[in-house]
Structure formats: C-alpha cells, structure tokens
A and B are shown apart, each in its own frame.
Chain A
Amino acid sequence: QKEVEQNSGPLSVPEGAIASLNCTYSDRGSQSFFWYRQYSGKSPELIMFIYSNGDKEDGRFTAQLNKASQYVSLLIRDSQPSDSATYLCAANNFNKFYFGSGTKLNVKP
C-alpha cells in the first residue's frame, strides 16, 4: 500500500476556531489529493480535492498542497460542532485511492 500518514488525534478545537488537519504521503507519483469526512459507521464523503501546489479554498475549507514536502493540509474555518468527525486524507495514484488512517476532530460548543 502506498503510505499516507495522518495524526490520529483527537484534535479538539472550540466552536468558531480554525481546525488544522495535516497529512503526508510517501509516493511522489501521486497525482492528486483528497479530503474526506467520515462519520462513525458511514461511508466517506468528499470535502474537496487538490492537485496543484498552493492553496485551494471552498467555503470554510482550504486545502493546501506542497509536493516538494509531500504534505497536504486542510483548514476548517469557523469550526462547528457538526464538523466533528474523522477526516481522511487520500492520495490518488492512477485512479487508485490510498487513504490515511484519519484524524478525529472534536469541535466543542
């Protein structure tokens, strides 16, 4: 398996704060990177993807990619209790998705 590493957490942030989730990957051949949110017992749901170096913003979410450092991050602004979930980072290598173990985020009201 291609390695994708994430801190398991839990990461606890107060409501309204910025949550920062990080991910590193080992395969330089990975073409694009995805962030999924997974609630307990449910399938992952896509938040956003990124394939170019730099930042990509979508609403309260910003993905950041640094291919030289093999590093991907997800920032969640104005965190809400409903954002509490496990966030999975995935690297896409020729249409195969390799997932990290996920970071559990707790947003406290």
Chain B
Amino acid sequence: GAVVSQHPSRVICKSGTSVKIECRSLDFQATTMFWYRQFPKQSLMLMATSNEGSKATYEQGVEKDKFLINHASLTLSTLTVTSAHPEDSSFYICSASLTGTGDTEAFFGQGTRLTVV
C-alpha cells in the first residue's frame, strides 16, 4: 500500500508554545489529506481536511486559529498546534486518500503523541 510518513512520533512541549507536525505522502501525490485526533480509548475524530493550494476545511467545533493547517505541496501537509495547553495532549494522526480501481482507501501516518506540560 501507499506510505504516509508523520513526524515527529512523540513530542513534549511546554504550555503556551507551538508544535508543528508534518505529514508526507512518500510514494504518491495527495491533493487532500486529513487530520485526526484521538483521545485515550476514544475514536479518531476528524479535525480538518487539508487541501493542497487552498484553505483547510475544519470540522464543527475545531478551532482553526488554534490548529493551523498548511498543505504546501502535493506531498506535505503540516498541522501546527498553537499556544498548546495540557488539554491539547492527544494522539494526532494524519491520513491521505488514494483512489484506485476499486474505491478510495485512506493511508495513515504513524501518529504523533503530543504531551503538553
């Protein structure tokens, strides 16, 4: 399957600082990428859709000024958690979709465990 690489895998930051997470599609071009957040023992919650060359589309309840998304190229999307607080501590996962002959499949990055102290 296609490969999506996410970096870093773990990050610890101080409250009030910003953290950038990168998501790269390594062997295909992804015009659209998705960002999810997962709290312990809960499901993946779609935060936003990242569109190459245009503004991201945020799901209801997700603060766009706090979670800045930049899709600079067909292989790279970044999520910046601005002015992070302890309640932002979570597992953040990106995915990119690839449409094949059958259907669209989502390929996930390895995830980023963010801890805000």
Q: Is the interface of A mostly helix, strand, loop or mixed?
A: strand
User: Which residues of the other chain, A, contact B110 by a CB distance below 8 angstroms?
Assistant: 42-43
We find that the number of chain A residues with CB closer than 8 angstroms to chain B is 24
Q: Which stretch (A61-69, A74-82, A89-97) binds chain B?
A: A89-97
Cross-chain contact A102 with B43 (CB below 8 angstroms): yes
* Chain B interface SS verdict (over half): strand
Indicate with 1 or 0, residue by residue over A1-36, a CB within 8 angstroms of chain B CB atoms: 100100000000000000000000000000110100
Contacts of B109 in A (CB 8 A): 43
Residues of B within 8 A of A (CB): 1, 6, 32, 34, 36, 42-46, 49, 59-60, 91, 93, 95, 97, 99, 102-111, 113
A interface vs B, CB < 8 Å?
A: 1, 4, 31-32, 34, 41-46, 49, 51, 88, 90, 92, 95-102
Known: A46-B105, A99-B43. 9 other contacts (CB 8 A): A32-B104, A44-B44, A44-B108, A88-B43, A92-B103, A92-B106, A95-B32, A95-B99, A97-B34
